Amino acid sequence: MAVFSGYYKPLSNKAKRILGIVIQVRNVIEIRFHGMGGQGAVMGALILAEAAFSEGKFAQKIPVYGGMRRGGDVTVFLRLDDKPIRRTSGIYEPDALVVLDPALVGNPAVKKGLKEGGIAVLNEERAPSDVDFGVVLGKTATVAATGVSAQLFGVRAIPITNTTMLGAIAKVTDWIELGSLFEPIRHAFPGRIGELNVEACKKGYEIVKES
Amino acid sequence: MAVFSGYYKPLSNKAKRILGIVIQVRNVIEIRFHGMGGQGAVMGALILAEAAFSEGKFAQKIPVYGGMRRGGDVTVFLRLDDKPIRRTSGIYEPDALVVLDPALVGNPAVKKGLKEGGIAVLNEERAPSDVDFGVVLGKTATVAATGVSAQLFGVRAIPITNTTMLGAIAKVTDWIELGSLFEPIRHAFPGRIGELNVEACKKGYEIVKES
Amino acid sequence: MSQIVRSFRPVVDMEKCNKCTLCQIYCPEGTVMVVNKEKVVFDYRFCKGCGVCATECPTGAIGMEREA
Amino acid sequence: MSQIVRSFRPVVDMEKCNKCTLCQIYCPEGTVMVVNKEKVVFDYRFCKGCGVCATECPTGAIGMEREA
Amino acid sequence: MDGNEAAAWGAKLSRAEVIPAYPITPQTELISQIAALISEGIMDAEYIKVEGEHTAMAAAIGASVAGARVFTASASQGIAFMEEALWMPPGRRLPIVMCMVNRAMAPIGGLRPDHNDALMQRDTGWIQLYCENSQEVIDTVIQSFKIGEDKRVCLPVAPCYDGYFVSATATPTTIPDQSEVDDFLPPYVHEMYNIMPGEHKPTGGSSDIAKARYEVEKAHERARGIIEEVDKEFGKRFGRCYDGLIEEYNCDGAEAVLVTMGSMTGTARDVIDEMRGKGKSIGLVKLKGFRPFPTEEFRKLGKKYNAIAVVDRNNSYGSAGGGIVSMEVARALYALDDRPLLVNFQVGLGGSDVTMRQIEYMAEETLEAVETGKVKSVVDWVELHDLGEVM
Amino acid sequence: MDGNEAAAWGAKLSRAEVIPAYPITPQTELISQIAALISEGIMDAEYIKVEGEHTAMAAAIGASVAGARVFTASASQGIAFMEEALWMPPGRRLPIVMCMVNRAMAPIGGLRPDHNDALMQRDTGWIQLYCENSQEVIDTVIQSFKIGEDKRVCLPVAPCYDGYFVSATATPTTIPDQSEVDDFLPPYVHEMYNIMPGEHKPTGGSSDIAKARYEVEKAHERARGIIEEVDKEFGKRFGRCYDGLIEEYNCDGAEAVLVTMGSMTGTARDVIDEMRGKGKSIGLVKLKGFRPFPTEEFRKLGKKYNAIAVVDRNNSYGSAGGGIVSMEVARALYALDDRPLLVNFQVGLGGSDVTMRQIEYMAEETLEAVETGKVKSVVDWVELHDLGEVM
Amino acid sequence: MELNKLFDEYYEKSYIQGGTTCCPGCGGPLFWRLALEVLGANTILYGDGPCAYCAIRNIKLPTFGIHFSFAADGATGIAAALRVKGRKDITLVSSAGDGATGDISFGKVSAAAERNENMIQICVDNEAYMNTGVQKSGLTPFGAWTTTTPLGKEAPKKEIPMILAQHKIPYVATASVAYPKDFQKKIIKAKGIEGFKYFHSVIPCPTGWRFDPAKSIEVIRLGVQTWAWPLYEIEGGILKLTMKPKRRPIEDYLKAQNRFRHLTDDQVKHIQAMTDQKRERLLQQDGKRIIF
Amino acid sequence: MELNKLFDEYYEKSYIQGGTTCCPGCGGPLFWRLALEVLGANTILYGDGPCAYCAIRNIKLPTFGIHFSFAADGATGIAAALRVKGRKDITLVSSAGDGATGDISFGKVSAAAERNENMIQICVDNEAYMNTGVQKSGLTPFGAWTTTTPLGKEAPKKEIPMILAQHKIPYVATASVAYPKDFQKKIIKAKGIEGFKYFHSVIPCPTGWRFDPAKSIEVIRLGVQTWAWPLYEIEGGILKLTMKPKRRPIEDYLKAQNRFRHLTDDQVKHIQAMTDQKRERLLQQDGKRIIF
Ligand SMILES: Cc1ncc(C[n+]2csc(CCOP(=O)(O)OP(=O)(O)O)c2C)c(N)n1
Ligand SMILES: Cc1ncc(C[n+]2csc(CCOP(=O)(O)OP(=O)(O)O)c2C)c(N)n1
Ligand code: SF4
Ligand code: SF4
Ligand code: SF4
Ligand code: SF4
Ligand code: SF4
Ligand code: SF4
Ligand SMILES: [Mg+2]
Ligand SMILES: [Mg+2]
């Protein structure tokens, strides 16, 4: 039984999929998630990884934080590939960025190393054309995920933006199909809150703007 | 300031003699002390070492016991030489034995390794000729040290035999002069008890029997 | 790269304020002050938007506003 | 090469003994016994000659004798 | 599944009975996972929430002596805190399994891995097996019980894996079937000792001290073969194995090899593949078993390659030269007639990341040494060079 | 005066100000002696009767950071118990002096010495100097403060000496004059850090982790020279010195050398003298400084002799071959073009005595290796042979 | 900017910089502000940097720590050095979280108490190992959820203040950041006493206790009002309650925190009974010598 | 010989062989004989071999120890294994000297108490580190000479039974080998209670306390009679004195031991005052709940 699962989600919902090895030329996509506080970025990356795995891809997720204390900024490295991923070093020159909090968009540390021609998916109210990363990107996408959180989950100290971002990703990249995300989201959030997150995901798919 | 002193005796009485180095052919005498309980054997060896040092000899004393708990048998290695002693290993084939407790005289472990032609100085009421070590010795000496202890120090659970033994040694060996022992004894036991021990020492010198 | 990120920021309605200084006393970060017993000010450089000041204010003078 | 060495050994005077068993109870090494409420015996293989039995005996029935 | 989750599942599948443990980053999620597995009824074990690591190991020893299969885990300061206790299981011949989730030692180190925390225990008599990823962790935990409990071994085993880069890195992982594991690993019977009243056999070994130490040494010698044996059996049954103590990767016809341990091996695989693609004559040796050290295997490598470049993710201040692994390798190869160049790098110290660029650099330097026949410096502190990386 | 008394006097003459310590055989008499010296008014220091060794080292660190000169001592289990703390002084650059009174580690070891207890700490960054007798202990304690507090070093120093064979062995010993020591060793000033309110300078070093480690490594490198320098100065002033990190004894024209550490060196001197008297071509090298390791010195030895026989009073289970010192020596000599034979013995393990007969045996074996050009076994466990001794 | 300068001065005066790395609503920085204000400039702080000390980088007085598992011990060395140097003017404070104080380092705290070291030993109690992500400590209260007690903690909270009182130290105090005046009075008192003083304060931890950060003070105020967290001091062995609120159901306190969400009614009743028993004993012994 | 057989049977029955390596007059072997007689065959003993356990090689029941610095901890593992194996029939005893119990391992004993491990934790108290040659422990009484307190110990004896009572464990008892019946009753009671039981007994140490071995029992009997060593138990938090001798001057006890020889009159008075205070408190709280 091959599974892709973290301890972040209830064990009873563990995915049970068979590992199918497909040897191909290395075609890895290296993505960096940036979030604030809590488990948002980690869960977002995990869901994306699970979804990719369910589509037959290989995935690897490395969270990077200090102590285990909650709060503060969180970085997660995510790799997607057609064959098993072996390298374990951090991602310093990502092919793509996912930024879950608008406050981080302007932070120079966030965009550090982003490759020219890469992709940026941002939680932003502004249009993509209004965001200047100082890097020539292949694609910039913005989605007002904090707004979606307020709509769906009410006003919260730490808004829930990751699932909306994932929907946006499904739309603007070829990493994942929208439909593949729902099952992992439901695994991660059982019950009603899962359905709300699926909705957020769909919403992200709908409202994302890309340039 | 070169001193030969152990922590076993009060610091304020520390001997203060200058180290004079005399290089000669190695002429080491290796002596093994056996005692029961307490510090008797250790103190005896120490006093002998101090006395030899005061005569210009070099000495080395290695006590061997288990934990620091009192009680049980105690072995002490003592080396005397004309030049500095460097070897630190135990003495397994002694040139001489000093046995402080009659109960140990019959113990096979005590006489183990004793050299033929060696010396044995024993706390024993019997005459030297009545003691058979199963080794041809150069000299056997016996002294009723427990009796002397009872006489001088009264009846005690652990009798004081070491100083009497030292007196006997001064008589039957060329390791030390009787007079050289008094000062170290007084260092070790300040006050009246020191004088009694000097007396015990003299008594040993007097009553020792040798073959 | 740690930085303060707030979803909400405290704002005061001086009409309602009675200068009791409870907000100042209880603010975990020390980022609210009652200046000269007349004005309540916030240090938005460091305020974490936790809302403690708003909860503790006995007159409801402090409200929490969504950050842009 | 540990062995028991005693300077003194306990001996009992059964005339004085009242069979109270206090010697047996308090002997640290368990080397004295009151047998069948009639005889006090010592295990000289292991007795350490500490003298506790003699001290604790209420009738002074136990004395300590010099070992050979 | 990440490395910590894999280790927890490894313990569960091995039917560990007693688990005394104390939380420390980056091992914490392992024990939280075990607590969760137990509370959900998936795992049946006594998890003892001790108050510190010295006690964790002591309780492990107590449980093991009383005949229970014992699992625990620690890292860094926690391992150091229990050092006094660590000497006991090898001497008492107790097959405890403890994951060492590598993390650099304070005060010059963060929460990320280097190998000093585990390596400093290299004299104690624990078997140490370094794992590359989650899959290897789960498999190695299961193997470890089998190895340690083998009558010919009777030693504690530490599956070691890097914090974060293995512990928190999720990759697809195959969970073996419980019934298969049960077949592979029979219930634990404490063959040598018994503490139960009535059946009491004292723990032992030779009463001659030097001989008793030699017995442990012999057990290590035997363990070399048994680790391979167990791995092969595992491979037959589960379809995956790890070549025992060392693995040669993409080495055919190479002139030189890099020797790596732990998670950087995965990164090195990518780099070496790429370099070989470009025609560079360098291969990779993954050192999985540090204790017992694969001495014979290294002698074979020494005869095959012109240079052996040891990548030490550790350092020993004031040593005779270079990192800890390099000293072992030097000792192993010393008597070889035609010994290879010994190149040595220290990298990833105090928990810094080991990057692809750094590995490439080390490979290039090694090839240069082969070419010139000279080793530039006894040891190269890779992190002191600016390799032009964005980090 | 025995080794423990000598160490206590060394601390007293060095005017150690704070002494947190916990008793353990065979170190106990050292601290009892210090308690006595203080109570008699001979010594002026704060002796803290802590409740365990972890606390002893922590208190030492606290006192050192607060600007006091600190002395302490431990052994065996006690050293292991404080291991977590031992990493701190090197990283924080605190020149604490701690005597390690060597005693074998439990459970396979008694109360007598082998060197595993100190050697297991060889990665932590402590300087380790092994002493042969009381005289060397008292002198080395004094030198240690001077070495450790040198601005170019700023590292903790451990004078190590064997339990019993040094600690309890009384030999004539010269006690240096207080005023001379005062001249030699100026009052301690904490140059790098300050914890006093108002004058506060945080403890530090590079904030880049790898660089900070490299700084400590550099300090060890510099210490090699400074240890020699201090020893020479000591020699000039007091008329005794110890040739720095290693001493060659009766080596002129020898083909091979034995390398010894600690008290067995004294025994070996007698044996070697005797053998040379009989025309045997073997000398003696006393290894005093294990950290920093005298790498260059060993390279010189390697060029001079045909065989270097390392006598390890320690073992590392499952190692690449032989004892700990042998691995360091192999690393040091590895790159030599014409390297000598490396012969290796393990002896005195778990605290057994190292006898003259054993040393003779090792010398003979070494000479045989020179003759045949072959080393019989990677390592020879000397205690497994019956050498016909009465013990 | 004028305002920034004003705040910078305020931080300087209170010896702690705003903007710590603690979670929003964390009681830690508040704890330190209250303590440092009355400790003053002539203070050395010993302790390490888990949550309990999360504000460490923001403290403007000399701080020194070794590591999590080193409580009270390094301060023992500092105290000795201060004696050697004759610095009687300096207040030495040694601080640790509940995990260090009550578990891994309790032997050390206890031994420093036995030696009567001259320092204020502080326990900053957030009732679990927070820095490592919410594991049970000995001071986690009965029934509370943590990641290692997914079904609630089995044993009652370890009563460190009462335990240390039996060490015959000169001063023990409990405090809560919800009652700043009481808190600061006790710190001032401790500062004036020679020997080993123990000061134990709760801090609210919204992250680990699982409640809305805005409720931080409210929650721990409930702790005092329900007698979950009685405020008292023990000076020279004499107990004195410094607050005697009238009885209020413990449920009010438990309900405010999700870490107690899973409790059954019976468990709540049990907690109420334990709390009542303690309250009675405290009231009854108020003003009495409670050490032996 | 008939007599030898008689004794061998007696040793078998009392689970301890005569002829230990302890000093003559040592209370250690007596301690174990008293304890083992009532513990019975179904017992596992955990503990290490300093003086406190000097009779270890002579004990005829399964014993296991790790090392001096490991108190209560290994037993925690054994207890877990016994649970796993469903062995409710076995009594688990964990023992340590005063040095291990009160100093180096006190954190461990305290933590096992907090976890309420199912074992009898025993402290064999000879009031110093005897195995290493008489150094001060936290349980050395005020004023006593040891090699590390050449002028007498400065701090009072650490009151471990009272400290552990505040851990809310089900049973605490003090005992003395001078009162065998009281001693054995308490062991029997402890055996019947589930959870963590603490049993603390003094043993006389003629070597370390410096008195004539023959006086061993006499000396510690004086300890009880002068209230230097009160006998009590604390069950479910309720204190009960099991012996209430009438007041007798502490001097009688101090004079009997050379470790107190150097005490000044003032010091003796101080000790008397402390003892009186304790006696009064004990009498006054007798029968009352003393935990919070
Ligand atoms: C020897 C050792 N074991 C474990 C850890 C991991 N660790 C760091 S902080 C911590 C818990 C801290 O708990 P507490 O003292 O209550 O402080 P808090 O974070 O809750 O404020 C732990 C277990 C460590 N650093 N060192
Ligand atoms: C970690 C460690 N530190 C120190 C020692 C040395 N040591 C052995 S027994 C002992 C003292 C024992 O005292 P206590 O527990 O009171 O037992 P006692 O011998 O008095 O019965 C000490 C300090 C040790 N074995 N291990
Ligand atoms: S708490 Fe409210 S009323 Fe009081 S000073 Fe602050 S804002 Fe004004
Ligand atoms: S929101 Fe929180 S941090 Fe900001 S001022 Fe109010 S209490 Fe302080
Ligand atoms: S003398 Fe001591 S050991 Fe011998 S029987 Fe009497 S009490 Fe027992
Ligand atoms: S104590 Fe005395 S009276 Fe009592 S049984 Fe023994 S010998 Fe007899
Ligand atoms: S986890 Fe709790 S204690 Fe730690 S910083 Fe966050 S709120 Fe404060
Ligand atoms: S030193 Fe004391 S406790 Fe130890 S064996 Fe001797 S009398 Fe007993
Ligand atoms: Mg906490
Ligand atoms: Mg004791």
G213 CB neighbours in chain A (<8 A) are 157
Per-residue pLDDT, D8: 86
Say if residue B74's pLDDT is above 90: no
Closest atom of ligand 1 to CA, residue G52: 21
Q: How confident is the model at residue A22 (pLDDT cuts 50, 70, 90)?
A: very low
Are G5 and G54 in contact by the 8 Å Cβ rule? The answer is: no
Query: Which of A107, A109, A158 is closest, CB to CB, to C7?
Result: A158
Pick the more confident residue, H8 or A3.
H8
Say if residue A201's pLDDT is above 90: yes
| Residues across chain B | 211
Can you give the CATH number for the domain in which D38 is found? 3.30.70.20
Nearest ligand by distance to the CA of H205: 8
Which range is least confidently modeled, B46-50, E198-202, F196-200, H98-102? E198-202
Domain assignment of residue D1, yes or no: no
CA distance H242 to F340: 77
Pick the more confident residue, B27 or B67.
B27
Q: Indicate the top mutation candidate among G23, G132, G139, G259 to test ligand 1's pocket, ranked by most ligand atoms within 8 A of CB.
A: G132
Pick the more confident residue, E19 or A26.
E19
G99 CB neighbours in chain A (<8 A) are none
Say if residue F67's pLDDT is above 90: yes
Indicate the average pLDDT of chain C. Answer: 92
CA distance A61 to E170: 5
Per-residue pLDDT, F208: 87
Query: Which of G69, G135, G151 is closest, CB to CB, to E23?
Result: G135
Per-residue pLDDT, G130: 95
Indicate the average pLDDT of chain A. Answer: 84
Is B155 part of the contact surface with chain H (CB cutoff 8 Å)?
Answer: no
Question: CB of D64 closer than 6 A to ligand 5?
Answer: no
Per-residue pLDDT, E200: 78
Number of domains chain D contains: 1
Strand pairing of H43-46 and H63-64? parallel
Q: How confident is the model at residue C68 (pLDDT cuts 50, 70, 90)?
A: low
Give the amino acid at E107.
Answer: P
Say if residue B7's pLDDT is above 50: no
- For F59-68, what is the mean pLDDT? 97
Per-residue pLDDT, A117: 93
Per-residue pLDDT, E204: 59
Per-residue pLDDT, G51: 87
Strand pairing of A209-210 and F157-162? unpaired
Question: CB of G26 closer than 6 A to ligand 7?
Answer: yes
Say if residue G265's pLDDT is above 60: yes
Per-residue pLDDT, C4: 64
Q: How confident is the model at residue A30 (pLDDT cuts 50, 70, 90)?
A: very high
Per-residue pLDDT, E313: 98
Instruction: Tell which of B36, B105, B124 to mutate to test the D interface (max D CBs under 10 Å).
Output: B36
The C-alpha of H136 sits at a distance from chain F's nearest C-alpha, in angstroms, of: 8
**How do residues F358-371 score in pLDDT, each as one tens digit?**
999 999 999 999 99
Indicate the average pLDDT of chain E. Answer: 96
Per-residue pLDDT, H116: 98
Q: Which residue of H has its CA nearest to E50?
A: H111
H17 CB neighbours in chain D (<8 A) are 46
- Do residue G147 and residue E32 have CB atoms under 8 angstroms apart? yes
Per-residue pLDDT, H57: 86
Domain assignment of residue D3, yes or no: no
Per-residue pLDDT, A155: 74
Domain assignment of residue D53, yes or no: yes
- For G116-142, what is the mean pLDDT? 97
Q: Indicate the top mutation candidate among H132, H135, H200 to test ligand 2's pocket, ranked by most ligand atoms within 8 A of CB.
A: H132
Question: CB of B70 closer than 6 A to ligand 8?
Answer: yes
Question: C-alpha B155: how far from its chain's center?
Answer: 22
Per-residue pLDDT, F204: 59
Per-residue pLDDT, D35: 95
F121 CB neighbours in chain E (<8 A) are 120
Say if residue F257's pLDDT is above 60: yes
Query: Which of H26, H132, H214 is closest, CB to CB, to B68?
Result: H132
Cα torsion angle, A8, A11, A16, A21, sign: positive
**How do residues F15-28 score in pLDDT, each as one tens digit?**
999 999 999 999 99
Q: How confident is the model at residue G74 (pLDDT cuts 50, 70, 90)?
A: very high
Say if residue F131's pLDDT is above 50: yes
Among F358, F359, F5, which residue's Cα sits nearest to residue F161? F5
Per-residue pLDDT, A14: 32
DSSP 8-class letter at F104: P
Q: Say how many C-beta atoms besides its own lie within 10 A of residue D9's C-beta.
A: 17
CA distance D27 to H19: 11
Domain assignment of residue C2, yes or no: no
Which range is least confidently modeled, A77-86, A188-197, B63-72? B63-72
CA distance F229 to F150: 11
Q: b/e map of H98-127 (b: 16 or more CB within 10 Å)?
A: bbbbbbbbbbbbbbbbbbbbbbbbbbbbbb
Domain assignment of residue D2, yes or no: no
Strand pairing of G171-176 and E341-346? unpaired
Q: How confident is the model at residue B6 (pLDDT cuts 50, 70, 90)?
A: very low
- For F344-370, what is the mean pLDDT? 96
Per-residue pLDDT, H54: 79
At how many degrees (to 10) do helices B145-153 and B192-207 cross?
150
B10 CB neighbours in chain H (<8 A) are none
- For D45-65, what is the mean pLDDT? 96
**How do residues E182-229 score in pLDDT, each as one tens digit?**
999 999 988 777 888 988 776 656 778 989 999 999 999 999 999 999
Say if residue C7's pLDDT is above 80: no
Say if residue A8's pLDDT is above 80: no
Say if residue F45's pLDDT is above 50: yes
Percent of chain B with pLDDT over 90: 66
Look up residue F165 and give its two tokens: 């064979």
Per-residue pLDDT, B120: 96
**Chains C and B are in contact, defined as 3 or more C-beta pairs closer than 8 angstroms:** no
Give the list of residues 6+ apart from residue H246 with CB closer than 8 angstroms, or none.
none
Per-residue pLDDT of chain H in tens (292 residues, 90 and over written 9):
799 999 999 999 999 999 898 999 999 999 999 999 999 999 999 998 788 787 888 999 999 999 999 999 999 999 999 999 999 999 999 999 999 999 999 999 999 999 999 999 999 999 999 999 999 999 999 999 999 999 999 999 999 999 999 999 999 999 999 999 999 999 999 999 999 999 999 999 999 999 999 999 999 999 999 999 999 999 999 999 999 999 999 999 999 999 999 999 999 999 999 999 999 999 999 999 999 9
- Do residue B70 and residue H132 have CB atoms under 8 angstroms apart? no
The C-alpha of E24 sits at a distance from chain A's nearest C-alpha, in angstroms, of: 10
**How do residues G173-186 score in pLDDT, each as one tens digit?**
999 999 999 999 99
Query: Which of G106, G148, G151 is closest, CB to CB, to E31?
Result: G148
G96 CB neighbours in chain F (<8 A) are none
Domain assignment of residue D27, yes or no: yes
**How do residues A42-98 score in pLDDT, each as one tens digit?**
999 999 999 999 999 999 999 876 444 455 678 999 999 999 999 999 999 999 999
Domain assignment of residue D34, yes or no: yes
Per-residue pLDDT, B16: 30
Give the amino acid at G78.
Answer: I
Per-residue pLDDT, A68: 42
Per-residue pLDDT, A4: 61
Domain that holds residue C50: 8-66
Q: How confident is the model at residue F177 (pLDDT cuts 50, 70, 90)?
A: very high
Is E167 part of the contact surface with chain A (CB cutoff 8 Å)?
Answer: no
- Do residue G278 and residue H292 have CB atoms under 8 angstroms apart? yes
Rounded to 5°, angle at Cα F267 from F264 and F270: 150
- Give the DSSP H/E element, type plus range, for residue H94: strand H91-97
Place of tokens 């907090």: H114
Per-residue pLDDT, G54: 79
Q: How confident is the model at residue C3 (pLDDT cuts 50, 70, 90)?
A: low
Ligand 3 centroid from CA F255, angstroms:
89
ipTM of the complex: 0.95
- Do residue G217 and residue C54 have CB atoms under 8 angstroms apart? no
**How do residues E120-137 score in pLDDT, each as one tens digit?**
999 999 999 999 999 999
Per-residue pLDDT, D7: 76
Per-residue pLDDT, B109: 86
**How do residues E135-146 score in pLDDT, each as one tens digit?**
999 999 999 999
User: In whole angstroms, how large is the CA radius of gyration of chain D?
Assistant: 11
Pick the more confident residue, B135 or F284.
F284
Percent of chain F with pLDDT over 70: 99
Say if residue E346's pLDDT is above 90: yes
Per-residue pLDDT, G59: 94
- For E56-65, what is the mean pLDDT? 97
Per-residue pLDDT, D1: 40
- For F231-235, what is the mean pLDDT? 97
Domain assignment of residue C3, yes or no: no
